[in-house]
Structure 1
């Protein structure tokens, strides 16, 4: 059975999206054209508390595709998969098609 991580406070567990390095026809793509630092939200914490003790919910939900900063986050390995933990406020936004 694989372990499941539930983030604490306002942390978000992300599985980074690795863009393809070549097209379906086999053409290699330059590295800079494939660089968009994004990921899929795997799990979210319950949120942080404000000074009055009220919970401030996390702005993202499981399944969201988000834009990530170039640096930051904590690498976490669960089984064979690699994930990253970010604080809610460090994630730059949600990506939509």
Structure 2
């Protein structure tokens, strides 16, 4: 459960919020992020985190060919997908992204 993981990181001395990005703020490259940061996706902007991924670096998304900050995730087995997931997310226009850096 992504929301439980998010709440754990935020309510314990386990992580700090790096930032929150609305759809219009989600460019391909995000210099605020670094490898190991946890990316949480709120698909419908209801305050509940629906999914999570891990920032792994920067480069080219092998499927979409977007160039920028990359993340990996397990649910749909995305390897080095662009961090905002816009090419894969039918709800990208309502998705709020919150990133937490674990300690």
With the shorter chain as reference, the TM-score category is: under 0.3
| Higher fraction of helix | 2
Structure showing greater Rg = 1
Normalised to the residue count of structure 1, the TM-score between the two structures is: 0.25
Normalised to the residue count of structure 2, the TM-score between the two structures is: 0.24
Which of 1 and 2 has higher RCO (CA within 8 Å, sep 6+)? 2
| Higher fraction of strand | 2
